[in-house]
């Protein structure tokens, strides 16, 4: 089961990436915001550090798989961010979102300290949930979701939900250490807010 989940996520990540690269290369970036991917990189780095801590806590296969998945996505999102850096304008709203995420992150770190895995779990919430809600708003304002091909949207849902299931299985099978709890918190917020993006995409595409 765990191996199947892993390879499914790897394939779906490439299924997301290829249409996305084609779309951006063609200049179809309507409804896209740079802040989303800039902050996503923070989310992925935090999640990667949590998956590493969880693997060090218990070196089993499912935890290694989780770490590899986050490493893969870190590379992918960094590539997409670099591709869009010259073609997508940074907006005042992007600045506001980045300041908001930074303020929440600093407040969280000051309160509990960065070494606490649950602190990193909350950082992943701020770095994933807020940008995804922001991109949903930008898409509605622009009345465009052309930056996100339907196949990429489907692939994102097909990776985020299995990843949440994988982290849950990781906790159930190996124990709910704080690093795994932090991962589960971040992935729950990811699935919830990407559902909002999906609904907005459907509204804009169908209407």
* This prediction's pTM: 0.87
Say what angle helices 117-142 and 178-206 make with each other, to 10 degrees.
Answer: 10
Q: Two tokens at 143?
A: 């009345």
For residues 39 and 130, give the distance between their C-alpha atoms in angstroms, rounded to a whole number. 9
Dist CA 13 CA 46 (whole Å):
19
Measured torsion, CA atoms of residues 146, 201, 155, 78, in degrees rounded to the nearest 10: 60
Q: What is the pLDDT of residues 61-112, one digit of tens each?
A: 989 999 999 999 999 999 999 998 878 888 888 899 999 999 999 999 998 8
What pLDDT is stored for residue 112 in this prediction? Answer: 84
Number of domains in the chain: 1
List of residues 6+ apart from 167 with CB closer than 8 A: 66, 180, 183, 184, 187
Domain limits for position 178:
2-206
């Amino acid at each position: 089961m765990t191996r199947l989940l892993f390879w499914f996520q790897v394939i779906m990540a490439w299924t997301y990436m290829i249409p996305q690269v084609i779309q951006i290369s063609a200049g179809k970036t309507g409804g896209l915001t740079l802040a989303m991917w800039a902050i996503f990189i923070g989310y992925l780095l935090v999640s990667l550090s949590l998956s590493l801590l969880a693997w060090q806590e218990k070196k089993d296969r499912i935890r290694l798989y989780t770490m590899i998945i986050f490493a893969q996505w870190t590379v992918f999102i960094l590539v997409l961010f670099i591709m869009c850096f010259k073609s997508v304008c940074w907006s005042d709203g992007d600045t506001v979102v980045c300041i908001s995420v930074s303020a929440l992150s600093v407040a969280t770190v000051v309160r509990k300290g960065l070494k606490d895995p649950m602190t990193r779990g909350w950082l992943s919430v701020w770095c994933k949930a807020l940008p995804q809600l922001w991109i949903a708003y930008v898409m509605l304002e622009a009345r465009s979701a052309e930056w996100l091909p339907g196949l990429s949207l489907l692939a994102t849902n097909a990776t985020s939900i299995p990843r949440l299931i994988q982290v849950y299985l990781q906790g159930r099978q190996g124990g709910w250490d704080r690093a795994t709890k932090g991962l589960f918190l971040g992935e729950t917020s990811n699935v919830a807010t990407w559902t909002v993006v999906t609904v907005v995409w459907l509204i804009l595409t169908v209407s």
